[in-house]
Amino acid sequence: MQSITIRQPDDWHLHFRDNEMLAETVPATARCFARAIVMPNLVPPVTNASLAMAYKERILAARPAGSQFEPLMTLYLTNETTPADITAAKAAGVTACKLYPAGATTNSDAAVKGISALYPVFEQMQKDGMLLLVHGEVTESHVDIFDREKVFIDQYMVKIVQDFPALKVVFEHITTGDAADFVLAHGANVGATITPQHLLLNRNDLLVGGVRPHNYCLPVLKRNTHQARLREVVAEGSKKFFLGTDSAPHAKHRKENACGCAGCYSAWSAIELYAEVFEQLNAMDKFEDFASNNGPDFYGLPRNEGTITLVKESWQVPELVTLADGTEMVPFFAGQTLNWKLA
């Protein structure tokens, strides 16, 4: 196979950041994706409809000329979120709400403490048809970081899905076989996104031969058996799994320090990275559904009308991306060769 044409894909989980960063991150995503679910963990976080719509306008202003890229906005849930906030957000055009356990990832300190306290909010989301996007990790310090996704499933995820059977739930950026099996074991209202890094790498790629800060993300890379299970479920072609890069830009100097930021900036090579995975798995016939069809189908949105073409052509991911103000970022897979390229 020397080329493949698929329906234009969407990214169902990414971080644009804000302000001057948008001039880099929005064009990087708009080069191939038609829509993207935009994470709300800014400082301060996007906690209501007016903040979400203002953020959307800033993103739209950063689109390349002629681009029709559409950001799909999300609300950041806190212990102060009310059912009225959900209804107002739905009326304003917000697509989903994001649940971060407090301290789970970058800029999540204002997030939820005591998930059961949000049950009235979940009830309103279920009534209003608002999706719940879950960063599924516990954050208690005594729980091993490699076990936090599994513990979250056992303590919270099972109960949320049981108590709100009509609520659509996306288990974001899953990293374990436990999470994949949980999604498969539940009904049509439970889906999951999977990142390129969790399909391509495991914890050896983070820790062997020295710590590699640009492979550090949260949830953290897991052992190779979990990576193998994620690769297996995408190769099988289940409709419950779809593309979500979790592309998360950070300045190089913030990644390469004693308390380096979590996140992989994959936007400039995202669709090519996924193509690499599906080719490795001899599953290119499943690629379009994962990238372009399963996500909109789960969200209840129309599939895109346009197409993109990838060609078999080797190219090297840049070592650095430099912002207008001179800030340097190291993209995911920096300096490595990929075999598929967006035409």
pLDDT at 88: 98
pLDDT at 111: 62
Is pLDDT at 109 greater than 70 in this prediction? no
On whether 135 is known to bind a ligand per the annotation, the reply is: yes
Tens digit of pLDDT for each residue in 151-203?
999 999 999 999 999 999 999 999 999 999 999 999 999 999 999 999 999 99
On whether 214 is known to bind a ligand per the annotation, the reply is: no
Q: Cα separation of 57 and 176, whole Å?
A: 36
Is pLDDT at 236 greater than 80 in this prediction? yes
Query: Per the structure block, which two tokens stand in for 41?
Result: 């963990």
Tens digit of pLDDT for each residue in 258-313?
888 999 999 999 999 999 999 999 999 999 999 999 999 999 999 999 999 999 99
- Judging by DSSP bridges, how do beta strands 321-322 and 328-329 pair with one another? antiparallel
Angle at 342 between CA 309 and CA 324, to 5 degrees: 145
Q: Cα separation of 138 and 102, whole Å?
A: 9
Tens digit of pLDDT for each residue in 8-37?
999 999 999 999 999 999 999 999 999 999
Q: Cα separation of 195 and 190, whole Å?
A: 17
Q: Cα separation of 280 and 283, whole Å?
A: 8
On whether 186 is known to bind a ligand per the annotation, the reply is: no
pLDDT at 14: 98
On whether 63 is known to bind a ligand per the annotation, the reply is: no
Q: Which residue has the tokens 């209501």?
A: 48
Tens digit of pLDDT for each residue in 216-234?
999 999 999 999 999 999 9
Is pLDDT at 40 greater than 80 in this prediction? yes
Q: Which residue has the higher pLDDT, 109 or 214?
A: 214
Of 62-76, 110-124, 307-321, the one with minimum mean pLDDT is: 110-124
On whether 142 is known to bind a ligand per the annotation, the reply is: no
Q: Which of 251, 279, 276, 278 is nearest to 265 (CA)?
A: 251
What is the rounded average pLDDT of the residues 128-157? 96
pLDDT at 102: 75
Contact 125, 167 (CB under 8 A): yes
On whether 198 is known to bind a ligand per the annotation, the reply is: no
pLDDT at 74: 98
Known catalytic residues? Answer: 246
Q: Cα separation of 327 and 219, whole Å?
A: 26
On whether 332 is known to bind a ligand per the annotation, the reply is: no
pLDDT at 63: 98
Q: Which of 212, 224, 178, 217 is nearest to 195 (CA)?
A: 217
- Judging by DSSP bridges, how do beta strands 35-38 and 11-14 pair with one another? parallel
Is pLDDT at 237 greater than 60 in this prediction? yes
On whether 262 is known to bind a ligand per the annotation, the reply is: yes
Cα→Cα distances 187→124, 142, 164, 191, 225, Å: 20, 32, 12, 9, 25
On whether 41 is known to bind a ligand per the annotation, the reply is: yes
Is pLDDT at 47 greater than 60 in this prediction? yes
On whether 250 is known to bind a ligand per the annotation, the reply is: yes
Contact 278, 342 (CB under 8 A): no
Structural domains of the chain sorted by starting position, each given as residue range(s) with its CATH number in brackets: 11-302 (3.20.20.140)
- In which band, very low, low, confident or very high, does the pLDDT at 101 lie, cut at 50, 70 and 90? confident
Q: Cα separation of 220 and 154, whole Å?
A: 19
Tens digit of pLDDT for each residue in 64-75?
999 999 999 999
User: No. of H helices and E strands in the chain?
Assistant: 14, 13
pTM greater than the 0.85 cutoff = yes
Is pLDDT at 107 greater than 60 in this prediction? no
- Using only C-alpha atoms, the chain has a radius of gyration, in whole angstroms, of 19
pLDDT above 90 covers a percentage of the chain that reads: 92
DSSP string spanning 214-270?
A: GG--SSPP--HHHHHHHHHHHHHT-TTEEE---B----HHHHSSTTPPP-B--GGGH
Q: Which residue has the tokens 């950026």?
A: 173
